[in-house]
């Protein structure tokens, strides 16, 4: 009789163990999926932190420079070609500046396919295609070293001087392997996007830009 009771209790004893295993596996899967989904946002945060800290080596980890260079060259060339066609309709000589810019695409691309160029792109400062253009310095006054901070408070006149604010992009997935930070533009700043692509499960790299059409 005792043996029959013991055998009857075994399935009941196994149920909590099986339920715990299933719950544990479900939690692990959910955490794994959450990390996969959050990975591009984490990478974007790390790149922005590296920009603020002037950490070029950290920025390099998250940029595919050959792919970014190819994308920049294509996008800048197309942008200048459209500008030439538009200016030709207005005045034949108005397109000379854009034609000169097209001759200097490679130096511009080389200047932007750098940590400084990536910093400018993520600060809302894309290339405009002007001859001899280089990425503007991205200065964060609050994070600058004390030796670079002003010794005295600025005067009312200087504090009233307009300063170009950093653009804030909206980040999001385009598909499971493509993530983009898009800048709406405004004023003299055009709308454009910085594109990341997945490298493995959790890693992403900047490898393309989309300049205005």
The predicted pLDDT at position 142 comes to 37
The predicted pLDDT at position 68 comes to 97
The predicted pLDDT at position 38 comes to 95
The predicted pLDDT at position 184 comes to 87
Q: Show Cβ contacts of residue 60 under 8 Å, excluding neighbours closer than 6 positions.
A: 115
Does the CA dihedral 110-100-188-162 come out positive or negative? Answer: positive
CA 73/CA 173 separation, integer angstroms? 24
- Supply the pTM of this predicted model: 0.74
| Helix, strand, coil % over all residues of the chain, rounded to 5 | 55, 15, 30
Grouped pLDDT means (10 residues each) for the chain, 213 residues = 52 70 81 92 96 93 97 90 70 59 79 95 89 77 38 37 56 96 80 95 95 80
Q: Read off φ and ψ for residue 171, nearest 5 degrees.
A: -105, 145
CA 177/CA 199 separation, integer angstroms? 8
The predicted pLDDT at position 11 comes to 57
Domain boundaries, the chain: 2-135+166-210
The predicted pLDDT at position 209 comes to 96
Is-contact 64 206, C-beta < 8 A? yes
């Amino acid at each position: 009789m005792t043996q029959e009771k013991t055998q009857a209790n075994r399935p009941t004893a196994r149920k909590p163990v099986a339920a715990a295993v299933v719950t544990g596996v479900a939690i692990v899967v959910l955490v794994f999926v959450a990390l996969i989904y959050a990975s591009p946002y984490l990478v974007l945060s790390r790149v922005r932190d590296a920009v603020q800290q002037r950490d070029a080596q950290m920025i390099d980890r998250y940029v595919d420079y050959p792919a970014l260079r190819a994308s920049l060259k294509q996008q800048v060339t197309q942008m200048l070609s459209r500008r030439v066609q538009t200016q030709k309709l207005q005045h034949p000589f108005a397109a000379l500046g854009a034609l000169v810019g097209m001759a200097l695409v490679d130096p511009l691309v080389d200047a932007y396919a750098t940590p400084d160029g990536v910093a400018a792109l993520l600060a809302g400062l894309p290339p405009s295609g002007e001859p001899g253009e280089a990425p503007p310095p991205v200065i964060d006054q609050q994070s600058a070293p004390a030796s670079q901070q002003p010794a005295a408070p600025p005067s009312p006149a200087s504090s009233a001087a307009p300063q170009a604010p950093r653009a804030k992009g909206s980040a999001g997935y385009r598909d499971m392997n493509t993530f983009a930070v898009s800048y709406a533009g405004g004023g003299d700043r055009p709308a454009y996007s910085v594109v990341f692509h997945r490298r493995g499960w959790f890693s992403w790299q900047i490898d393309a830009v989309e300049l205005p059409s």
